Structure 1
């Protein structure tokens, strides 16, 4: 009989290293995919995933099994991504006014961003709430209800956001084709 995620999470929260390893083995790849979609960059996704894994033993103590483990885990990922974005924004703000060095750094960042494929660019162009919704519903087969629970919003809001995402991505594509 297969051990459930909830059973593994509860055991891991109690210090069971084997249970924690089993949880990571079971969910690491999907966690990385969500982090990649949230960050838009493989190196950032790798860092974010590792940070989550390092914090996970302590966070598991707060898991109450009120939602599926994956829903809870993806909410942890969304929160971690928000924290990372805030830290990056704070660093960028602190760097403002550093003269030629900062201008050169920003130019290099812009060149790097131009080299990313269309989907990554499009995802980053979306507002944070739409990006988070897309990241949770793409590829990992989260239902609208599961994504709504992970994001703390209604299922109808998830449906509206997905409609808005489709509309914006189509507009971006049409703009590129007409240029």
Structure 2
């Protein structure tokens, strides 16, 4: 006898992931509904644009049934899902960069990116602009620790790094923000 929807709603993510990887579409649907907002929120923080975040979230959900086969129950499902999201965002950014570079050439691409960065600085509030100016690894760290309220230990687990590296990255974020504020005030 199959569990009812109410019973399944209480089922752990890990158990649902296992059932979904075995082809249980109801378990997959419940996982997708349970984590859609989390995926979208992180995707938005990583891409900086709602439309890109929607596309990334849908791409992840479309690929998730196949990816679930690689899920190992030794980690929390959310930790694994964050890693999948980070990887997908990085892959998407690389592909977009290659397409832009091929289409416009290196010099034109650099000029265009500089103009877009200037437009974004005027259109966005200071913090959003500051976040975009951070190197990718610092932005990812901030998205997980501050945006998703993960502890440094949890962020380290998601990113496959040491907790000390996460602490160092957060101190680098603070340094970058102080420098930006000083430059703007000066």
Q: TM-score, normalised by structure 1?
A: 0.88
1:53 aligns with 61
Following TM superposition, by how much is the alpha carbon of 1:175 offset from its aligned partner in structure 2, in angstroms?
Answer: 1.9
1:149 aligns with 157
CA distances 1:98-140 after superposition (whole Å, capped 9, x unpaired): 999x799668745652323322221221111111111111232
What aligned pairs does 1:76-155 form with structure 2 within 5 A after superposition?
Answer: 76-97=84-105, 109-110=116-117, 112-114=119-121, 115-155=123-163
Q: Which runs of 4+ in 1 moved over 6 A?
A: 102-105
1:39 aligns with 47
Gaps of 5+ in 1: none
Q: In the alignment, is residue 69 of structure 1 matched against residue 77 of structure 2?
A: yes
2:175 aligns with 167
Question: CA RMSD of the aligned region, Å?
Answer: 2.3
1:24 aligns with 32
Q: Distance in 2 between matches of 1:82 and 1:106?
A: 18
SS at 1:66's partner residue? coil
SS at 1:175's partner residue? helix
Q: TM-score, normalised by structure 2?
A: 0.85
Gaps of 5+ in 2: 1-6
**Contact 2:60/2:88 (CA < 8 Å) preserved in 1?**
yes
Following TM superposition, by how much is the alpha carbon of 1:168 offset from its aligned partner in structure 2, in angstroms?
Answer: 1.0
Q: Distance in 2 between matches of 1:164 and 1:31?
A: 26
Q: Distance in 2 between matches of 1:156 and 1:123?
A: 21
**Contact 1:12/1:57 (CA < 8 Å) preserved in 2?**
yes
